[in-house]
Structure 1
Amino acid sequence: MTPPTPHDTAADTTVGTEVGTDVGTAVDTEAVARSVAAEHGLVLRGPAGEGVDFVVHRVGRPGLGDAVLRIPRHRQYLSPYGDVGSAALVRQEHAIAAHLGPLGLPVATPLRQIERPDGLLVSLAAHVEHDDVPLDGRDVGRFLAALHAATPPRTPLAYQAPGDFTGFFVKRLGDRHANLRRAAPSLPPLPAPLRVTAALEAVRTPHRLLHLDVRRQNLLSRGGRLQAVVDWSNALIGPPLMELARVAEYALLPDNGIDASEVLAGYAESTAVPDLESPAALLYRLDTAIMLALVFHSVAPDAERAKILTGRAEHLLGLLHTAGNPARPVRPVTVAGPSTTHDRGERQH
């Protein structure tokens, strides 16, 4: 198992914690799993994965094959845009999968949302057979290209503030940067908000559904071919460049198990790959780097990793302040050990 790390929203409540939890709303997930299984004629097969927000159990359905039961750890999560109920995340995952499946995109087929007598909402989805054979990254790129070509669903997204995307992102980046500066006071300042806004708005593309957690733990494959993409809790509707910039940053961390060059090659089979060192791309990469640095300053404390990833954020800030001076190229990061991203993969086993 990989260490717990936060979801992808920058909370102001705790330095470095991007989603907090209301400890008074903790859920006994084992008891819920047993109760749901008994009430719905399911056979518990054991844990299938876990994340900060959810625990996943594999269950048997007599005569119907296996499924997975996704149970929230808490009833409420804290975000900078207000408290988010776990039910909203369950509905979001279900709605996105229901929207994408008929379009031919690889998702875990949603089966049922089960409301408990106490109001807790859990989800049941089809089990996806998968293995640990190395995944062909080009499959991931093809998936992202198809996702970014599809009309987004109309379902509300739990962690997306209403209104203009650029304004939402600028505020989030500012909040994250301020949080990291509390832990690392020498962190350079952000470029002026008007400059950040201008850089983002210089890239004018249709906004599409973004997964924003593309890493091996959330990519179910078999024989090296992608079978399903799971865990849509971090989804936003925004510019595809943000997704590809995040992939590029995630790929710098070997334990995320993705090869950016392969992913981008698959993406380029059907659509042009944008410049991942443009000012807008560097801002999206910075957003990711700061989030990762915050993880190791608080949620999964690791002084060495925090130092490395804070250095990464400093490097990206330097590139932005020098307008992408080629004398300061984007350099890789080496962070050894278990997964460094913000949520343990809810892989189905």
Structure 2
Amino acid sequence: MGLTNKTIEKLRLDIDNVLNKRLNWQIEEINLIGNGVINAVFLINEKNLGKLAVRTPWRSEENMMDKNSSGIISLKKEAIISEHCHKHQIPVPKIHKLYFSNEINFLVSDFVSGDGQEISSYDIGELTSKIHKVPLDGLSIVDQNERKLSNIVSHRITGRVHSLNKLINTNFIIPSSEELEAILNTSETKNSLLHLDVRPPNIIGENGIIKAIIDWDNSFVGNPIMELMRIFESKELVEGEFIKGYNNLDIIENTDTTIQSIYRLDTALMLSILFTSFINDSEKKDYYLKRVHFLIEEISNNL
């Protein structure tokens, strides 16, 4: 079921009640400006703080006080990582309030507006490099639970292959998650904070200058090669320009190609499922199915 007008109005009233009556803010207006699968985003105008964005899970099951619900995890993750990045001069919206209750959960941050002008892949490469250089300082990702990225990705790949086989009635065969994880663990590259959804819709800019990067839902701590392979495989940026901005070609050249292929496969599988089940784009569906076949064959031949 989609987001209904009735739900929008209830969320609006609940936000207004908490901010004005419980927190004694002075809210002058609240308007819905967007929504996704999990969250709705409202623009509010607070007398002293100005324009702010309020992100709240809109599905009824996501407004429960279940610490493991995707809605609560999403809010916590965005708040913790944004505050960490803000401390290290990464352009992110400033966090003002993370609020949980039995009635409604939400995150309030600065509202950062953009003009829709294209941001260069070079500049996005520079920003990604800065993110990868942010000191971790004990940063813990809410839904990573101290697991290694190699463990998460290897199990996710086998799960996605199983799902894709059922979707298109085929029989892709890949090495076990244990084998994939062992290969990924041979990398000696230092772990970094990874955004893992670096693409134009998540970069807010004005006059071609980056003002903020948003949406840390996919973020983990792990090998930065994972981020680079995801960006290259998804093809939403100009790879050559991005690499120039990232300015660390050695990290790619010094990483075993099988490791690169495994991380690419994770993305190719995700996009194959996306264009098979959720977005009707036969050209991209066929392209990524071919990529899955090629990458599985390449990985298997290198074992």
1:212 paired residue number: 196
Superposed displacement of residue 151, structure 1 = 2.1
Identity of aligned residues (%): 22
What whole-Å deviation, never above 9, does each CA across 1:175-201 have from its counterpart, x for those lacking one?
Answer: 111111111333531135454234312
CA distance in 2, matches of 1:271, 1:306: 30
Q: What amino acid is the match of 1:274?
A: I
Q: Distance in 2 between matches of 1:155 and 1:103?
A: 12
Q: What residue is the counterpart of 1:280 in the other structure?
A: 259
**CA 1:114–1:280: 2 relative to 1, 3 Å:** same
Q: Return 302-311 or 121-130, whichever deviates more.
A: 302-311
| Alignment match of 1:111 (pick from 96, 119, 133) | 96
Larger radius of gyration: 2
Q: Identify which of 275, 278, 281 aligns with 1:296.
A: 275
Check 1:195–1:87 CA distance in 2 against 1; reply closer, same or farther (3 A cut). closer
With 191-200 and 136-145 compared, the bigger mean Cα shift is at 191-200
Match of 1:203 among 187, 195, 199: 187
What does residue range 62-101 of structure 1 map to in structure 2 within 5 Å? 62-74=47-59, 83-101=68-86
Q: CA RMSD in A?
A: 2.8
Considering fraction of residues, name the structure with more helix: 2
User: Contact between 1:210 and 1:237, CA under 8 Å: does it hold in 2?
Assistant: yes
The answer as to whether partners of 1:166 and 1:197 remain within 8 angstroms in 2 is yes
**Aligned counterpart, 2:10:** 31
Whole-angstrom CA distance in 2 between matches of 1:277 and 1:52: 36
Tell me, yes or no, if the aligned pair for 1:133 and 1:224 is still in contact at 8 Å. Answer: yes
Structure 1: gaps (5+ residues): 1-20, 325-349
Query: Which residue matches 1:133?
Result: 117
- Secondary structure of 2:226's partner? helix
Structure 1 length normalisation: TM-score? 0.74
Matches within 5 A, 1:227-246: 227-246=211-230
Conserved? CA contact 1:42–1:59, under 8 Å: yes
Q: Count residues in correspondence.
A: 289
Deviations 1:154-212 (A, max 9, x none): 45434425434322321111111111111133353113545423431232112121111
Is 2:14–2:104's contact at 8 Å kept on the other side of the alignment? no
Structure 1 segment 1-80 matched on structure 2, within 5 A: 28-37=7-16, 39=20, 40-44=25-29, 46-74=31-59
Aligned to 1:265: 244
Contact 2:149/2:220 (CA < 8 Å) preserved in 1?
Answer: no
1:278-333 deviations in Å (ceiling 9; x for gaps) = 11111111101101111233234555543332222112223223449xxxxxxxxx
In the alignment, the residues of structure 2 paired with residue 287 and residue 240 of structure 1 have an alpha-carbon distance, to the nearest angstrom, of 14
- What residue identity is the alignment partner of 2:11? V
Unaligned segments of structure 2, at least 5 residues: none
Distance in structure 2 (CA, Å) of the matches to 1:102 and 1:190: 42
Deviates more, 1:94-103 or 1:57-66: 57-66
Instruction: Letter of the 1:104 partner, please give it.
Output: Q
Greater relative contact order (CA < 8 Å, ≥ 6 in sequence): 1
Deviation at 1:131, TM superposition (A): 1.2
